[in-house]
Amino acid sequence: MFIGFLKQAINSLQLQSQGRTSYRINQWCKWLSPGLAVKRWLLISIAGVFLASLGLAIWVKLTPIFWILELLKGLFGFLADILPNYISGPVLLLSGLLLVLWGQSRTVGSITEVLRPIGDEEELIDVLLAHRRLYRGPKIVVIGGGTGLSTLLRGLKTYSANITAIVTVADDGGSSGRLREEFGVLPPGDIRNCLAALADEEKLLTELFQYRFRAGDGLTGHSFGNLFLTAMTDITGDLVEAIAASSKVLAVRGQVLPATLSDVRLWAELTDGRRIEGESNIPKAAGKIVKIGCIPENPPAVPAAIKAIKEADYIIIGPGSLYTSLIPNLLVQEIADAIAATNAPRIYICNIMTQPGETDGYSVAEHIQAIDDACGNRRLFDAVLVHKKMPSAQALIRYAQQNAHPVFLDRESVTQLGRRIVPANILFEDENGAVRHDPQRLAKVLLKWYSGAHQMK
């Protein structure tokens, strides 16, 4: 019985040893993966060692080299007398290779210990491969605002680090509105959310950036990130510079840009003739919007945003509040013009539920028509992504109490508007029955559609 137990223990240890060995061999092989720029520098290093050795030998007139070679000749002759060359040769070759691999693995291990954050078990080679993959991803421009945009960014950053989020600066409610009123800065709220969403797993810093004060004279309701961006804007004198500095702190993948640096104020005309001013006031007016605009009428775009659109491989509009998050970006004429001029695949992500005060009773086609009307009846996107399953009964009841309902897909009308329909299961419901887009599912569907559209082009 004891012998049987001992055999099992030995077999288990052997399996573990083999597993560790195969894992290490797999990790070493990864260093030879294409695109890491490791093999070329290793060969250059070997060539450098060879040339240095040759130069040293010539410098000392080969005398020490001669005696070393004589010594090696005698040693190899002695070994050849004891062991035949077909045994001694492979043994020495294998020993040399093992020493090189051991030395290289220990070197890489030492570097990894220095570069790897405490508690992070990920191998350095895996980090390098992931970094290489992300920075070779498509150049994606996402346009929008609100929680919808930050939700999308959380999913997209796992596929590409070449992301540009163009964010509305029309917000005038909450903490952003207070800072805008008191300090004359552009509202930082949506920008802060996007920075946090694109942060490279810097959990503590992200939580700090999103932290909202619950007490304190004048601090209640403000988030730390909003105050930080406001302070950085005051120091640098420019919101774009403030965002760039914050991006470094949070190790952001990609960049976040405001659509404009102008102090934009939204206005909307309703069917009953009322004209409502202020982004936060429009949904409260509880009327059907027939026209929307901004003051000043044609604000200049941030040049970096136009450059990003022109260089984009893929442009995504939404998700987000139709009239107060998406369309404000497109009211910046230069942005709408740049989107219309690009040949990159373009897609609009339609909301799952209607929004009281903005899109009451709207269908998918009515969402599309509203965007077209705001941009001078131009088609700024080729396809529309819609959720194809109904939310749960619990969620439907919850939203019906707020006069919100699922957005109806009127296929024929969407087709008449010249848009392709991309149906997908991208819904996520939290424990309270709130309906959201699932970041990972949404990103996966978007990248799959992009691959197909890119190949067709």
CATH code of the domain in which 282 resides:
3.40.50.10680
- Residue 224 domain flag: no
Question: Residue 448 in contact with residue 426, Cβ under 8 Å?
Answer: no
- The HSE-up count of residue 402 (CA atoms within 13 Å, CB side) is 18
- Closest by CA position to 441, among listed 358, 319, 335, 330: 319
> Taking the CB of residue 363, how many other CB atoms lie within 10 A of it?
17
Considering the domain architecture, whether residues 58 and 164 belong to the same structural domain is answered as: no
CA–CA separation, 309 and 357 (whole Å): 31
Residue type, 447: L
Identify whether residues 265 and 293 lie together within a single domain.
yes
Q: Where are the alpha helices (DSSP H) in 184-326?
A: 189-198, 203-210, 224-236, 239-250, 303-311
Question: Do residues 347 and 326 make contact, with C-beta atoms less than 8 angstroms apart?
Answer: no
Say yes or no: 118 and 146 in one domain.
Answer: no
Q: Tally the domains of the chain.
A: 2
Question: What would you report as the CA-atom Rg of the chain, rounded to the nearest whole angstrom?
Answer: 31
Of 129, 136, 158, the closest CA to residue 441 belongs to 158
Evaluate whether residue 188 is within a structural domain. Answer: no
Residue that finishes a domain, picked among 124, 152, 187? 124
pLDDT value, residue 5: 44
Residue 326 is inside which H or E element, if any?
none
Residues 312 and 439 in one domain: yes
User: Within this chain, do residues 101 and 161 fall inside the same structural domain, yes or no?
Assistant: no
**Does some domain include residue 209?**
no
Three-state SS for 290? strand
**Distances in Å between the alpha carbon of 333 and those of 307, 337, 367, 377?**
14, 6, 20, 13
* Co-location of 322 and 431 in the same domain: yes
Helix, strand, coil tally for the chain in percent (to 5): 55, 15, 30
Residues 30 and 162 reside in one and the same domain: no
The domain boundary, picked from 62, 96, 124, lies at 124
**Residues 414, 381 share a domain:** yes
- The Cα 149–Cα 154 span in angstroms is 9
- Looking at the DSSP assignment, which residues form a beta bridge with residue 5? none
Residue 351 lies in a domain: yes
Rounded CA-CA distance 438/436 in Å is 6
Q: Are residues 297 and 382 in the same domain?
A: yes
pLDDT in tens, the chain (457 residues): 434 444 454 455 445 545 555 655 666 566 566 655 566 666 777 777 778 877 777 776 666 667 777 777 777 777 667 777 777 778 777 887 787 777 766 766 666 666 565 555 556 666 667 767 778 889 999 999 888 999 999 999 999 999 999 999 988 877 777 887 777 788 888 998 899 899 886 677 778 888 888 777 777 878 888 888 988 888 888 889 999 988 888 889 899 999 999 999 999 999 999 999 988 899 888 889 999 999 998 899 999 999 999 999 999 998 999 999 999 999 999 999 999 999 999 999 999 999 998 999 999 999 999 999 998 888 999 999 999 889 998 899 999 999 999 999 999 999 999 999 999 999 989 877 789 999 999 999 999 999 887 666 5
d(CA 455, CA 53): 52
Specify whether 117 is located in the same domain as 152.
no
Instruction: Please indicate, yes or no, whether residues 153 and 288 belong to a single structural domain of this protein.
Output: yes
- 451 within a domain of the structure (yes/no): yes
Task: Kindly state whether residue 240 falls inside one of the protein's structural domains.
Answer: no
Task: Judge whether 1 lies within some domain.
Answer: no
Q: Which domain holds residue 267?
A: 137-168+259-455
Query: For residue 210, is it within any domain?
Result: no
Same domain as 153, residue 78: no
